[in-house]
Chain A
Amino acid sequence: MAQSQPVKMRAAVESVNEVRGITRREPTLWRRIVRARFYYLMLVPCFALLLTFSYYPAFSAVYNSFFVFDYGLPSHFIGLANFTELFGDPIFLGALWHVFELTVFGVITGVTVPLAVAEWIFRLRSQRAQYIYRILMIWPAVVPEVVGLLIWQFIYDPDSGALNSFLQAIGHPEWAQAWLANPDLALYALMFSAFPFVGGAAVLIYLAGLQGISKEIFDAAAIDGASARRRFWSIDLPLIRGQIKLNMVLAILTGMQAFIGSLLLTNGGPLNATNVPILYMYQEAFTYGRFGYASAIGVLVFLAVFLLTFVNLKVMREKS
């Protein structure tokens, strides 16, 4: 212990110097790597996990998409044939259209409804009421996604579901529908399973933005006689543009990748009326064992998500 003290001391001084950016002589790269060996050692557990379970699958997804790779059969390279097949596949093209509709609906509701709710909460005089509503908005997040969807499945149930029972109770049994079994209605039923469209996190993000606006601006507007509506359009909206952007990107990301609803409520049916690309990928891989084809769908969706997010950020940045 006593012997190692000077060594430790030197190491301590060295590392302190290193952090401060003091270097006596520029050591060679190899020497610096050797000196940092302990830091690399501490990074080993993390990178062992990431290399195995994150980087390798991501690369092999792209790799597999160029192969015919059916479950249990030898695979062989086919270039872009999976992708060309996809764009002639009516189920895939239909799925693309559905995810477009779902995402547009999700973005519109996911940006506007939480904004309205956040404005209502923000303008309340009582701080305590503001706090209570904030907590209430976030609470439904505790209901597991699967439970939420199973409840909606019950609500839409054609025989004993809550929606049809409700229509009967208000005297319009003829309005009752097989909501999830009717190809013309199923997609809309799926959209409305997010009702009332108040994402708790989105509301909190907006509220954080509104609270970040300085009080002087509101006071100045009030002195100039700005109405509540004028204040909303001319002050609140421009100043929380960053939060609107964030919620929009989040809504696009979740919309493009959402498929648990389709999987649990309808399994893509009836007649593929609610199929979305990710669900189709899942079916191709785990029902039909076409891993190469499924990987191609995954790669396409990834590219679409990436491009959309990128374009969105670019356009928004130019505006501001």
Chain B
Amino acid sequence: MAIGAHPTGTPVPLRRSPGAVAKFLRSGDWWRHLLLIIVCIFLFIPMALTIVISTKTISQFNVAPLSVTFPMHWDNYVTAGQFVAHYIFNSIIISGVTCLGVLLVGSLTAYVFARFTFPGKTFMYQGILVLLMIPPILTLVPAFLLVKNLNLLNTWGALILPYMAFGLAFAIFILRTFYEGMPEELFEAARIDGASELTVFFRIAAPLSKSILGVVAVLNILGTWNNYVWPLVTIQSDNLFPLALGLTAYRQAYYTLWGPLMAGYVIGTIPLIILFAFTSKLFVDGLSGGALKL
């Protein structure tokens, strides 16, 4: 605010910069800020509460369950970490392998659908789109029987392969649109230089689609990371549990030991916080930029 101008044109003394504050009050922004801050407080209360309780001993919790108490017992995190760490490791492997598989197979498939014509293409592509309409709950029971017949029960294969199949449809849908938008000249030039189709894909198409692959990867990881029911029915061994399942096992073991329990919940949230810290801009821009509507 360099020069505060009165509506009538009379210059206003700049000393106390009345323009900014008055404008702010008149615009009605102050009550919007107020409401939004209240919403944010409610949004973050559960997590804040969890962090507050995670530093309490049992006696501190019994005296003051909801307020911050001193001294803070960070050793709860050590107790919880010993329990939760290997679930996190398991989840990183499971979600990571799934994500890599989906990116590799999905981008190759999307590329073929986007850039070539061949008999049966439309039919095959629509066959993939139909899968987007089938909710995972419909297939919960038969998929369990299938995995059981394939002798995959209680292995990570029972998680990773169905996760990949489930993630593929969406990945192909997003990536195909992207590859279709790439200029044909890029590919023509490479082909005339004698590059094989696979070389064209790996050396030109894939590197140019890094950002969209990133979006697909994040969405895929969010989906598999939070899945609870599928591992619940297919995995029995505690040492193979992914995080979501491990946390409920941890709850059963530490019920009423609220301090270490809440510390475990906080630790369980950290990996996604790290992922999100690096990708939230990507995510927010992606959802806001594209005009999503029906």
**Contact assessment for A142 and B269 in the assembled complex, using a CB-CB cutoff below 8 Å:** yes
**Contact assessment for B294 and A313 in the assembled complex, using a CB-CB cutoff below 8 Å:** yes
Q: Which of B43, B146, B188 contacts A57 (CB 8 A)?
A: B146
B7 within 8 A of A: no
Q: Which of A33, A56, A209, A245 contacts B291 (CB 8 A)?
A: A209
Q: Which of B40, B138, B292 contacts A301 (CB 8 A)?
A: B138
A306 to B133, CA, bound (A): 8
**Contact assessment for A46 and B109 in the assembled complex, using a CB-CB cutoff below 8 Å:** yes
Q: Which of A165, A196, A278 contacts B42 (CB 8 A)?
A: A196
Q: Do A32 and B138 contact each other (CB < 8 Å), given the known contacts A43-B109, A155-B46, A162-B65?
A: no
Q: Which of A85-93, A171-179, A217-225, A257-265 sits within the interface?
A: A257-265
**Contact assessment for A302 and B112 in the assembled complex, using a CB-CB cutoff below 8 Å:** no
- Report the tally of A-B residue pairs with Cβ distances under 8 A: 273
Q: Which of A102-110, A121-129, A181-189, A230-238 sits within the interface?
A: A121-129
**Contact assessment for A147 and B265 in the assembled complex, using a CB-CB cutoff below 8 Å:** yes
Q: Which of B128, B134, B268 contacts A144 (CB 8 A)?
A: B268
A81 within 8 A of B: no
B78 to chain A, nearest CB (A): 19
A148 to B269, CA, bound (A): 10
B120 to chain A, nearest CB (A): 8
Q: Do A32 and B118 contact each other (CB < 8 Å), given the known contacts A60-B145, A124-B33, A141-B222?
A: yes
**Contact assessment for B165 and A53 in the assembled complex, using a CB-CB cutoff below 8 Å:** yes
Q: Which chain A residues (284-320) contact chain B, with CB distance < 8 Å?
A: 285-286, 291, 294-295, 298-299, 301-302, 305-306, 313, 316
**Contact assessment for B272 and A151 in the assembled complex, using a CB-CB cutoff below 8 Å:** no
Contacts of B108 in A (CB 8 A): 42, 45-46
**Contact assessment for B251 and A150 in the assembled complex, using a CB-CB cutoff below 8 Å:** yes
**Contact assessment for A150 and B66 in the assembled complex, using a CB-CB cutoff below 8 Å:** no
**Contact assessment for B66 and A151 in the assembled complex, using a CB-CB cutoff below 8 Å:** no
Q: Do A285 and B140 contact each other (CB < 8 Å), given the known contacts A120-B35, A169-B66?
A: yes
**Contact assessment for A138 and B165 in the assembled complex, using a CB-CB cutoff below 8 Å:** no
B190 to chain A, nearest CB (A): 9
**Contact assessment for A198 and B39 in the assembled complex, using a CB-CB cutoff below 8 Å:** yes
**Contact assessment for B47 and A140 in the assembled complex, using a CB-CB cutoff below 8 Å:** yes
A40 within 8 A of B: yes
Contacts of A249 in B (CB 8 A): 294
**Contact assessment for B47 and A195 in the assembled complex, using a CB-CB cutoff below 8 Å:** no
A123 to B28, CA, bound (A): 9
B133 to chain A, nearest CB (A): 7
A19 to B131, CA, bound (A): 28
Q: Which of B11-19, B69-77, B282-290 sits within the interface?
A: B282-290
A138 to chain B, nearest CB (A): 6
Of the four ranges (under 10, 10 to 19, 20 to 34, 35 or more), the interface on chain B belongs to 35 or more
Contacts of B3 in A (CB 8 A): none
A152 to B112, CA, bound (A): 46
A193 to B178, CA, bound (A): 38
Q: Mark A74-103, 1 if CB is under 8 A from B, else 0.
A: 000000000000000000000000000000
Contacts of B50 in A (CB 8 A): 151
Q: Which chain A residues (202-218) contact chain B, with CB distance < 8 Å?
A: 204-205, 207-209, 211-212
Q: Which chain B residues (133-175) contact chain A, with CB distance < 8 Å?
A: 133-135, 137-146, 161-162, 164-166, 168-169, 172
Q: Do A144 and B244 contact each other (CB < 8 Å), given the known contacts A19-B115, A162-B66?
A: yes
B5 within 8 A of A: no
**Contact assessment for B138 and A299 in the assembled complex, using a CB-CB cutoff below 8 Å:** yes
Most buried by A among B116, B135, B144, B225: B135
**Contact assessment for B168 and A46 in the assembled complex, using a CB-CB cutoff below 8 Å:** yes
A126 to B29, CA, bound (A): 9
Q: Do A257 and B137 contact each other (CB < 8 Å), given the known contacts A53-B143, A228-B28?
A: yes
A243 to B291, CA, bound (A): 9
B246 to chain A, nearest CB (A): 9
Contacts of A191 in B (CB 8 A): none
Contacts of A9 in B (CB 8 A): 192, 194
16 CB contacts below 8 A, A to B, read A9-B194, A33-B119, A43-B109, A52-B146, A53-B143, A57-B143, A58-B139, A125-B27, A134-B288, A136-B40, A145-B228, A162-B66, A228-B28, A242-B294, A260-B229, A301-B138
Sorted from nearest, which 3 A-B pairs have the closest CB atoms? A242-B293, A36-B118, A53-B165
